[in-house]
Amino acid sequence: MASMEALFANVPGGNLQFPKTRRTGFPGGAMVRLRRVYGGAARVRCGLIEPDGGKLVELVAPAGPEREAIRKEATLAGGLPRIKLSRIDLQWVHVLSEGWASPLRGFMREAEFLQTLHFNCLRMPDGSVVNMSVPIVLAVDDLQKRAVEGRDRVVLVDANGNPVAILKDIEIFKHNKEERIARTWGTTAPGLPYVEETITNAGNWLIGGDLDVIEPVKYNDGLDQYRLSPAELREEFTKRNADAVFAFQLRNPVHNGHALLMTDTRKRLLEMGYKNPILLLHPLGGYTKADDVPLSWRMKQHEKVLEEGVLDPDTTVVAIFPSPMHYAGPTEVQWHAKSRINAGANFYIVGRDPAGMGHPLENRDLYDADHGKKVLKMAPGLERLNILPFKVAAYDNTQRKMAFFDHSRPQDFLFISGTKMRNLAKNRENPPDGFMCPGGWKVLVEYYDSVASGTKIRQPVPA
């Protein structure tokens, strides 16, 4: 990965200008009048942004007779053919069932798959488009294909054979793996983590259709209380009287530079005229590559960040985003942004090389570090979302804390990369005071101690 030191010369300095706020609130959202710094009156729409397609898709059967009817159909002996879901497949059922991918109503059929691969968006019946940049598909092998051909419904079951959902009005089509990989990642180089886990050994066919999910997907890992659906998040934002929601996507521990960026964003939204902007701190909770810090440890670290007042619990909602991680750079960051629209966010913070990773074969970044934020500003279907690029933060040796980088005195700043942070924690060395809250750093050290002792070794998620 390219170092931050090599990049800071190209980072815009001074005050970062927020984009003009578009009218994206749902009908009835309050209007706030403010005067911008350049003079004149402006009007800011306050409220939660509408879901893609105008209505949040929720595919879990309501408790009662409807749920029991679906459960009975799914469990009837000698009835519908069955497809066993991998762990990652189940995560995608979770994503679809709660409406993160609205307006999708199930695994993609061929027309949706091709639009996603070639246009990064889906065309709606009225001619409008919604963003959709990553394929959400279910692969089957030749044997499974023969078992379901001629049927219009199949049962999806978990690893233990328990029915999870019924996939109906199904369509089976060819799984061109090379095309899918090349279009999604921009390369077919071996060693892409998601590809190795879910595509390389997957079946040669894809099966799409609408989902009837029997009941909410739960993992029983002690973290389900953090897995708030888009509908639940919208309810929480409404309870907190949020007039704007700004989302921060991450899959790493939160250091004080991240916190500075988030608190500064809230300050700027207040200056724009919003009265109660709420932060959605939204760590990714699906599949991640083997060397990432596991979700349970990241959540412990995030809890300490709030307990120690680095972020304000009254203006922060911490929840888990259930999507698997592709590491597909500018393609995947569109998915990360689009899904937060469905959760009610109208501002999205984007950093350097979002969803990126090192090239699997060469000593360089796989994607240009600036392309993610540039693509988000141009992506079809994301026009309603306000994109907030990172301001670069580093450790200021003169102030002994994390601060925004000052081009006039670069010699005073220390860039602590994720690799360096991990190595410090592995070696039980302390970072500079003010880099991370003490409780959060202790959690990170405990995790690497557990790995070194062999008590909790992170294994890749089986496909």
CATH number at residue 185: 3.10.400.10
Predicted confidence (pLDDT) at residue 7 exceeds the cutoff of 50: no
Q: Which of 190, 213, 236 is the last residue of a domain?
A: 213
Residues 115 and 187 in one domain: yes
Q: Per the domain annotation, does 463 fall within a domain? A: no
User: What is the per-residue pLDDT for 385?
Assistant: 95
Mean pLDDT of all residues in 427-445: 96
User: What is the per-residue pLDDT for 16?
Assistant: 34
Indicate the pLDDT class of residue 419, thresholds 50, 70 and 90: confident
Supply the mean pLDDT for the chain. Answer: 89
Q: Per the domain annotation, does 12 fall within a domain? A: no
Q: Per the domain annotation, does 350 fall within a domain? A: no
Residues 284 and 407 in one domain: yes
- Centroid of chain to Cα 127: 27
Q: What is the domain range of residue 112? A: 65-213
Q: Per the domain annotation, does 458 fall within a domain? A: no
Q: Encode pLDDT of 28-65 as tens digits.
A: 333 332 322 223 333 445 568 999 999 999 999 999 99
Task: Report whether 329 contacts 366 (CB < 8 A).
Answer: yes
Residues 98 and 208 in one domain: yes
What does the alpha-carbon distance between residue 343 and residue 232 come to, in Å, rounded to a whole number?
8
Q: End-to-end CA distance of the chain, in Å?
A: 27
Strand order of the sheet with strand 82-84?
82-84, 153-157, 163-174, 205-213, 139-140
CATH code, domain carrying 439? 3.40.50.620
Residues 191 and 274 in one domain: no
User: What is the per-residue pLDDT for 351?
Assistant: 84
**Cα-atom radius of gyration of the chain, to the nearest Å?**
23
Lowest mean pLDDT among 211-215, 246-250, 380-384, 419-423: 419-423
Structural domain count of the chain: 2
Task: Report whether 243 contacts 272 (CB < 8 A).
Answer: no
Predicted confidence (pLDDT) at residue 14 exceeds the cutoff of 50: no
Residues 255 and 169 in one domain: no
Residues 97 and 175 in one domain: yes
Burial class (CB in 10 A: 0-12, 13-18, 19+), 78: exposed
Predicted confidence (pLDDT) at residue 13 exceeds the cutoff of 50: no
Residues 209 and 228 in one domain: no
User: What is the per-residue pLDDT for 389?
Assistant: 85
Mean pLDDT of all residues in 128-152: 97
User: What is the per-residue pLDDT for 458?
Assistant: 44
Peptide bond into 135 cis (omega under 30): no
Indicate the pLDDT class of residue 325, thresholds 50, 70 and 90: very high
Q: Which of 183, 213, 243 is the last residue of a domain?
A: 213
User: What is the per-residue pLDDT for 455?
Assistant: 60
State percent of the chain over pLDDT 70. 88
Q: Per the domain annotation, does 16 fall within a domain? A: no
Residues 234 and 184 in one domain: no
Residues 289 and 409 in one domain: yes
Predicted confidence (pLDDT) at residue 447 exceeds the cutoff of 70: yes
User: What is the per-residue pLDDT for 46?
Assistant: 53
The amino acid present at 124, given as its one-letter code, is M
Predicted confidence (pLDDT) at residue 439 exceeds the cutoff of 90: yes
Task: Report whether 34 contacts 244 (CB < 8 A).
Answer: no
Q: Per the domain annotation, does 251 fall within a domain? A: yes
pTM to 2 decimals?
0.88
Residues 252 and 395 in one domain: yes
User: What is the per-residue pLDDT for 42?
Assistant: 39
Indicate the pLDDT class of residue 418, thresholds 50, 70 and 90: confident
Residues 162 and 308 in one domain: no
Q: Which of 180, 213, 246 is the last residue of a domain?
A: 213
Q: Per the domain annotation, does 408 fall within a domain? A: yes
Q: Encode pLDDT of 235-270 as tens digits.
A: 999 999 999 999 999 999 999 999 999 999 999 999
What does the alpha-carbon distance between residue 148 and residue 139 come to, in Å, rounded to a whole number?
13
CA nearest to 168, candidates 83, 77, 52: 83
295: left (phi over 0), alpha (psi -120 to 50) or beta: alpha
Residues 74 and 141 in one domain: yes
